[in-house]
A and B are shown apart, each in its own frame.
Chain A
Amino acid sequence: MEGFLSSLVSVAFHGTAFGMILYVISVGLSVTMGLMGFANLAHGVFAMAGGYVLTSMISRYGVPFPLALAIAFAVVGAASVVLERLLYSRLYAASDLEQVMFTIGLIFVAVAVARMIFGTLQQPVILPDYLKGQFPLLGRDFPTYRVFIIAFSAVMVGVLWFGVERTRWGAMVRAAVDNRAMAQSIGIDTGRLFTLTFALGSGLAGLGGALGAEIIAIQPTYPFENLVYFLIVVAVGGLGTLRGPFVAALLIGIADTAIKYWYPQYGAFLIYVATIAALLWRPAGLFGRQHT
């Protein structure tokens, strides 16, 4: 029993770390899709970019870890603004298929560019010493970095939720998600709102990719390999909400870890089946709202 309890704690812990990373990366996608109705399958590209920025900053320029994280957030956010103004914004009125094709095209381009600049090897993540090793928590040892991931993500999530619930910007976003036409008619500049929110969401994805570079390896085919998981978080959690994807991400993180631990012969099969079941039960996601 002791052994089983210990495994349970271990699975819960590692699953939570994985889930938090999934959330930080995917929350931007949820808001973007809910807000702009744009199916951005290329969201993983931003996460990958954040990972590359972090690893390059640390290994090539010796930038300290916290600063590198901040730079990853800022650079990816800024780059996404450029992309949004130049390309994405032209396609807001386009059909679903066109949006899907565009974002797939973006993925292809990003994968090729990543390979050309960084080569095909996985990027090594060199952690600062104070984040290495084990961390004692409640009488057990856990890998320090994963504890850091959970703590840091929790803070980010708190800040985000506060921002959306309490600030004017957050109110505008919520209004625009609920009813874009109405929001526009009361004078909210939805164009600028989109750009700002898109930048924030993409920046968060970059941050998540950087944070999670140890768990989800940074290599050129990143956007292809991990797309399904990000989409599952958003689809199961519900578009345009914050709480939904959080629950979904944690569920998936823990479930995935549990399966790897106890039933590795099943692989991700059970996750996909569970996703299908969840989506059939609640097509708008666990916490989604039914759009008219």
Chain B
Amino acid sequence: MSAHAGGYSANPRIRWIEWLPFVLAIAAFFALPEYLSLGARILIYILYALSLDLILGYAGIITLGHSAYFGLGAYVAGILGARLGVSDPLVQLVAAAAAGGLLGIATGAIILRTRALTLLMLTLAITSVCLEIANKATPVTGGADGLSGIVVAPILGLFRFDLFGKTAFLYCLVALLIGWLAVRRLIYSPFGASLTGLRENPLRMHAIGAPVYWRLVLVYTISTTLAGVAGALITQTNQFVGLNVLGFESGGELLVMLVLGGVGRLYGAFVGPLVYLVAQDFLAKQFPEYWYLGIGAMLIVVVMFARGGILGIVDSIVRRLWRRA
């Protein structure tokens, strides 16, 4: 990926501005009570995008199949709630995370030995396999009709998932907070620095004796675990899971959100889904058929002229202002 500002810094302390997204989220909770279900969705996709950014932006692994882990987490939580009578949300969450991690390490160990098109194809094939299984195993997954009747008990026995999405919003916010802290810690650690090395110059990394392959597998597994968590969250907030959590379109859409925000910059994963989902919420109502046209054109423009996404644009504006000052 082309050079970008931000990223590794020797000082891991959290700057005040980094708390801004969470402050905004709390403000939204009080100011926009009717939009909380959209808000929860945005929070979930931010977590999902963070997980993708770990491998895409930091480790440089291009994947179209990240939805496999998201979908697996979603279905694990759903199956527990609908078929196995396990309705405690925290248990469902942990199970989904574990599933995402297990599949991640299993698939990662196999596919991370390959590169470029082969790797891309393999990621696509994996999510397609997951999609087919979910599609065909109707008694377990509900097949093309999706899994409904998922029972999600109140969190800690106290907080029920209500129609307005209040509980869901706060629940996802807490999950995002924890996930964000974890990712941040990882990136600003020596391990995180080695990821940049892996991305920019794997040959050199080999030369200095860094275990490239195992580091890739490790970061991949962490990423898929987070994706699994995000998947569980979406099932729990909707009390429903359908086939579209898997497959190329879901993974592709996430990629679009992340690129829009800015890859490899941690906060691109915040900005991208926010802008995308809000825009989709507004525009898709006015012009449902033309949404794709706008997204496609925007993508092309971003790739040709604004490779750092929105945060990249913000950066260049800030730099220009600094120069003037």
Contact = CB atoms under 8 A, between A and B. Distances in A.
A102 B118 contact: no
A232 B129 CA distance: 13
Interface in B161-198: none
Interface stretch (B80-88, B217-225, B295-303): B295-303
Interface of A: 33, 39, 87, 90-91, 94-98, 100-102, 104-113, 115-116, 224, 227-228, 231-232, 234-235, 239, 265-269, 272-273, 275-276, 279-280, 283-284
Contact of A115 (B2, B113, B124, B289): B289
A239 to B, nearest CB: 7
16 contacts: A95-B1, A100-B62, A104-B256, A104-B299, A109-B296, A112-B289, A112-B296, A224-B249, A232-B125, A266-B132, A266-B136, A267-B132, A268-B128, A269-B136, A276-B126, A279-B118
Interface string B85-116: 00000000000000000000000001101111
A239 B117 contact: yes
A96 B62 contact: yes
Contact of A98 (B116, B128, B307): B307
B120 interface: yes
Interface in B287-325: 289-293, 295-300, 302-304, 307
A242 B121 CA distance: 19
Contact of B136 (A90, A97, A228, A267): A267
Interface of B: 1-2, 56, 62, 64, 110-111, 113-118, 120-122, 124-126, 128-129, 132-133, 135-136, 248-249, 252, 255-256, 259, 263, 289-293, 295-300, 302-304, 307
* Chain B facing A: main interface SS: helix
A105 B300 CA distance: 5
A116 B289 contact: yes
A139 to B, nearest CB: 37
Contacts, number: 131
Given A105-B303, A275-B125, 17 more contacts: A96-B62, A101-B303, A104-B255, A105-B295, A105-B300, A108-B299, A109-B297, A110-B296, A112-B291, A112-B292, A115-B289, A116-B289, A116-B290, A224-B249, A231-B120, A279-B118, A280-B110
Contacts of B304: 87, 90-91, 102
A105 B296 contact: yes
Contact of A109 (B2, B115, B292): B292
B118 A108 contact: no
**Complex A-B, nearest 7 residue pairs according to Cβ-Cβ distance, in ascending order:** A108-B296, A105-B299, A112-B293, A109-B296, A269-B132, A235-B121, A112-B292
Given A115-B289, A269-B132, A276-B129, A102 B300 contact: yes
B244 to A, nearest CB: 12
* Chain A facing B: main interface SS: helix
A39 B244 CA distance: 25
Contacts of A39: 117, 120
B307 to A, nearest CB: 6
Contacts of A284: 118
A232 B113 CA distance: 19
Residue from B1, B110, B296 with most neighbouring chain A CB atoms (10 Å): B296
B132 A232 contact: no
A98 B57 CA distance: 12
Given A95-B1, A102-B303, A109-B296, A228 B259 contact: no
A125 B12 CA distance: 62
A212 to B, nearest CB: 21
A228 B128 contact: yes
Contacts of B249: 224
A36 to B, nearest CB: 13
A109 B300 contact: yes
Nearest to B129: A272
Contacts of A232: 121, 125
A109 B62 CA distance: 22
A276 B132 CA distance: 14
Nearest to B57: A97
A98 B1 CA distance: 8
A110 B120 CA distance: 22
Given A116-B289, A279-B125, A96 B296 contact: no
Contacts of B296: 104-112
A113 B293 contact: yes
Contacts of B295: 105, 108
Contacts of A269: 129, 132-133, 136
Contact of A279 (B114, B133, B291, B292): B114
Contacts of B135: 267
A115 B295 CA distance: 15
Contacts of B129: 269, 272-273, 276
Contact of B248 (A115, A224, A273): A224
Contacts of A112: 289-293, 296
Contacts of B111: 280
B289 A231 contact: no
A39 B123 CA distance: 15
B306 to A, nearest CB: 11
Nearest to A102: B303
A69 B148 CA distance: 47
Contacts of A228: 124-125, 128, 248
Contacts of B110: 280
Contacts of B248: 224, 227-228
